[in-house]
């Protein structure tokens, strides 16, 4: 312990979703609604085909620090952009950590929604930052007033604003901002006289079944010069390649790109060459890209069926849920979420207690497992 610097002594990984998921999956009778990966777990056929044909060099040689020009084009194509700089990252997590670390000095404040994906708190802590939160939803809508209230305070104290927006299919609620809500948010940022950075965590972009997400038109936003979007891409979910660890950080500013390259080289150096080649081969080929879209529809449809069943049963038994549009998770407000977790665990049902909620990962369940689950959870909930 004495070998570790004082400021890191408190950084112990606990109550982590991956850890709880491991316990859940080692229970042979377990219903695992904890981890954010789609089940039944299958590698897409076109992914297998491409992987099988990769050369030794594609698989085992170093990649370049940023992933290379073709990867830049491929990731631009993935986001429906054309002229952005790109850096390959270890998953979406790598892109988010890099964005946060390069935009905030120690002691400055990162604004995140509540509830949110748990690692945001850890990323802030690892970088010596303060965290400010706003309640994501108010009356089942994006809480822009709440965002502005906290945003104004940070701007007046620190002369800048850096925040994470997790959209679409926000984890853990499954909420996606309406286009007007996104535009109103950008409208607020455009009016500020200080630099505003939106770290757009779009990890679940391909999980949404809305047309404006599928064709990426939701990203056509008018930004003034004081506003920068850092797009944090996770190929984990889009391509079902979670364990292969590939994502991308995408930005408009060349200087930012150069600094991010330095960060990458001195942190993880470069990323998974085989997966970089995979993304290039899909995103730059219209036919394979169409196959990918088709494969994703299966996941979107399955989620839609599972969520419909869970939500209708929740309604029948008066189990309150937060507003859900699409995505891997449904959230239930709950004061005693740790107790609910323990009680359900005794019945071999594993959910995740996060942010005064119980998060149910419908992505991990069969329809059969979803059936009756809302009622079971309701038995133990204190709202």
Residues that bind ligand PLP (CB under 6 A): 36, 91-93, 117, 166, 171, 201, 203, 234, 236, 242, 247
β-strand pairing of 31-32 with 349-350: parallel
67 by Cβ neighbours in 10 Å (0-12 / 13-18 / 19+) ranks as buried
Cα 40 versus chain centre, distance: 20
Q: How far is the CB of 255 from ligand PLP (least distance, A)?
A: 25
Q: How far is the CB of 201 from ligand PLP (least distance, A)?
A: 5
Question: Torsion angle of alpha carbons 107, 128, 182, 307, nearest 10°?
Answer: -150
List Cα–Cα distances, 289 to 72, 152, 300, in angstroms.
Answer: 16, 42, 16
Residue 342: its H or E element: helix 337-346
Q: How far is the CB of 361 from ligand PLP (least distance, A)?
A: 10
Residue nearest to ligand PLP (CB): 91
Cα separation of the two ends of the chain: 41
CA distance 185 to 205: 19
CA distance 292 to 298: 10
Q: Select 319 or 357, whichever has its Cβ closest to ligand PLP.
A: 357
CB contact at 8 A, 191 and 227 = no
Q: Select 171 or 270, whichever has its Cβ closest to ligand PLP.
A: 171
Q: Quick one: which of 278, 268, 302, 235 has its CA closest to 59? A: 278
Between helix 273-283 and helix 45-52 the angle, nearest 10°, is 120
* 3-state DSSP of 20-34: HHHHHHCCCCCEECC
Q: Select 164 or 332, whichever has its Cβ closest to ligand PLP.
A: 164
Q: How far is the CB of 292 from ligand PLP (least distance, A)?
A: 17
Q: Select 96 or 302, whichever has its Cβ closest to ligand PLP.
A: 96
CA distance 94 to 24: 26
Q: Select 247 or 353, whichever has its Cβ closest to ligand PLP.
A: 247
Q: How far is the CB of 93 from ligand PLP (least distance, A)?
A: 3
255 by Cβ neighbours in 10 Å (0-12 / 13-18 / 19+) ranks as exposed
Q: Select 99 or 319, whichever has its Cβ closest to ligand PLP.
A: 99
Q: How far is the CB of 99 from ligand PLP (least distance, A)?
A: 11
Q: How far is the CB of 327 from ligand PLP (least distance, A)?
A: 9
Q: How far is the CB of 239 from ligand PLP (least distance, A)?
A: 10
């Amino acid at each position: 312990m004495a070998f570790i610097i004082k400021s890191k002594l408190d950084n112990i990984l606990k109550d982590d979703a991956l850890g709880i998921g491991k316990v859940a999956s080692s229970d042979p009778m377990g219903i695992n609604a904890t981890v954010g990966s789609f089940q039944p777990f299958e590698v897409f056929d076109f992914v297998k085909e491409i992987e099988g044909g990769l050369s030794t060099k594609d698989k085992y040689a170093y990649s370049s620090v940023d992933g290379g020009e073709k990867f830049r084009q491929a990731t631009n194509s993935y986001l429906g952009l054309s002229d952005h700089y790109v850096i390959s990252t270890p998953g979406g997590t790598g892109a988010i950590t890099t964005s946060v670390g390069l935009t905030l000095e120690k002691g400055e404040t990162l604004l995140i929604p509540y509830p949110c994906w748990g690692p945001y708190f850890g990323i802030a802590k690892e970088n010596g930052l303060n965290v400010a939160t706003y309640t994501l939803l108010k009356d089942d809508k994006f809480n822009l007033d709440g965002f502005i209230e906290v945003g104004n305070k940070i701007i007046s104290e620190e002369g800048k604003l850096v925040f994470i927006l997790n959209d679409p299919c926000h984890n853990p609620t499954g909420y996606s901002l309406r286009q007007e809500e996104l535009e109103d948010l950008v409208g607020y940022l455009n009016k500020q006289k200080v630099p505003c950075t939106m770290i757009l965590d779009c990890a679940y972009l391909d999980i949404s079944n809305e047309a404006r997400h599928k064709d990426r038109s939701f990203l056509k936003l008018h930004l003034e010069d004081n506003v920068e979007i850092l797009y944090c891409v996770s190929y984990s979910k889009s391509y079902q390649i979670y364990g292969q660890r590939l994502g991308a950080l995408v930005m408009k500013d060349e200087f930012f790109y150069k600094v991010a390259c330095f960060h990458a080289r001195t942190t993880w150096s470069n990323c998974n060459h085989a997966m970089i080649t995979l993304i290039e081969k899909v995103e730059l080929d219209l036919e394979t890209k169409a196959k990918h879209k088709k494969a994703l529809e299966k996941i979107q449809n399955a989620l839609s069926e599972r969520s419909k069943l869970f939500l209708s049963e929740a309604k029948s038994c008066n189990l309150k849920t937060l507003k859900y549009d699409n995505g891997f998770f449904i959230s239930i407000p709950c004061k005693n979420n740790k107790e609910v977790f323990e009680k359900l665990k005794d019945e071999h049902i594993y959910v995740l207690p996060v942010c005064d909620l119980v998060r149910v990962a419908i992505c991990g369940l069969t329809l059969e497992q979803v059936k009756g689950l809302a009622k079971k959870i309701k038995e133990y909930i204190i709202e």
